[in-house]
Amino acid sequence: MPKLLIHSLTGCSGCIASLMASEIFPNLLERVEVISFPFIYDEENMEDCDIALIEGCVSQKAQIAILKEIRSNANKVIALGTCASYGGILNLSKEKKAYAISEYIEIDGVIPGCPPPSKLLGNSIMRLIENKNLELSMKNLCHNCPLNDLTDNTFNTLIKKVDFSSDPTKKNDKNKCFLRRGVLCLGPITREGCDHTCINNAVPCEGCLGPASKDYTSNLVNLLSMLDISKDIELDRSIFFRFSKPKT
């Protein structure tokens, strides 16, 4: 029976909460020996383990030593959620710096998402239990988007808004690609695998699953260079930091 360690760094604990609420969680508890889990045990146990799931970004120096200790004792270290995988939402802060755990240790895979979608999370957990490598799609969100046939592939529509809020009134245009509506959508540069939850709820993709390939920031720069965008969009820097720390 594989030994499992789960540890939280800086984050909202939403990824672990999603894991505990998932259908796969009871099966997980039956098939692993949990040696450390902040939602279950008061004390942290950094003993040898087969799988270590790390949630949250690195924002404090003390966390680096903890990461390195876990890495030295774990056969596999997996970044759980977008914060651990790419730096996450804390990058919007002007006072704090957020780093992916891969900045400090070698990792064996990521389970992206804010939080990870249930299907992706369940499949990934099962593969880890069965000692298989994680598999993530290399296709973008537009590939199987429900608005795929209506996507503005020419990028000729003037983009007037960045609006990632949920608004039921947007559902009136649910059969029209966000880019055709003049609303920025990051589907062209974001990895598929979320089952289009945001799109289906009239919210454009904001990129929480990370890039399908290469670097998020360079992909975003390339996308923006192809779009006809208003000056207000050009001045909105938050899209560069929302889920990923730009490479320096």
Residues 157, 94, single domain; the answer is no
Residues 68, 181, single domain; the answer is no
Residue 191: both structure tokens together: 């990895």
Give pTM, 2 decimals.
0.90
Q: Is 127 helix (H, G, I), strand (E, B) or coil?
A: helix
Residues 70, 161, single domain; the answer is no
Through-space distance between the first and last CA atoms of the chain, rounded to whole angstroms:
42
CA distance 79 to 226: 32
Residues 152, 43, single domain; the answer is no
Task: Give the tens place of pLDDT for each residue, 171-198.
Answer: 555 567 888 888 899 999 999 999 898 9
What is each CA distance from 9 to 87, 175, 194, in whole angstroms? 11, 40, 24
- The DSSP code for 89 is G
- Quote the pLDDT of residue 163: 78
Phi, psi of 111 (to 5 degrees): -120, 90
Neighbouring C-beta atoms of residue 228, cutoff 10 Å = 13
Q: What is the CATH number of the domain that holds 64?
A: 3.40.50.700
Residues 21, 92, single domain; the answer is yes
- Quote the pLDDT of residue 41: 77
CA distance 85 to 102: 7
Contact by Cβ (8 Å): 230, 158: yes
The residues of the chain scoring below 70 in pLDDT are: 148-155, 166-175, 234-235, 247-248
Domain boundary among 90, 106, 129: 129
Contact by Cβ (8 Å): 18, 12: no
Domain boundary among 72, 105, 129: 129
Domain boundary among 69, 102, 129: 129
Phi, psi of 22 (to 5 degrees): -75, 160
DSSP string, 1-12: --EEEEEE-BS-
- Quote the pLDDT of residue 231: 79
Residues 87, 193, single domain; the answer is no
Residue 233 lies in a domain: yes
Residues 97, 26, single domain; the answer is yes
- Quote the pLDDT of residue 42: 73
Residue 158 lies in a domain: yes
- Quote the pLDDT of residue 242: 84
- Quote the pLDDT of residue 175: 66
Look up the domain containing 177 and give its range.
Answer: 141-241
- Quote the pLDDT of residue 75: 96
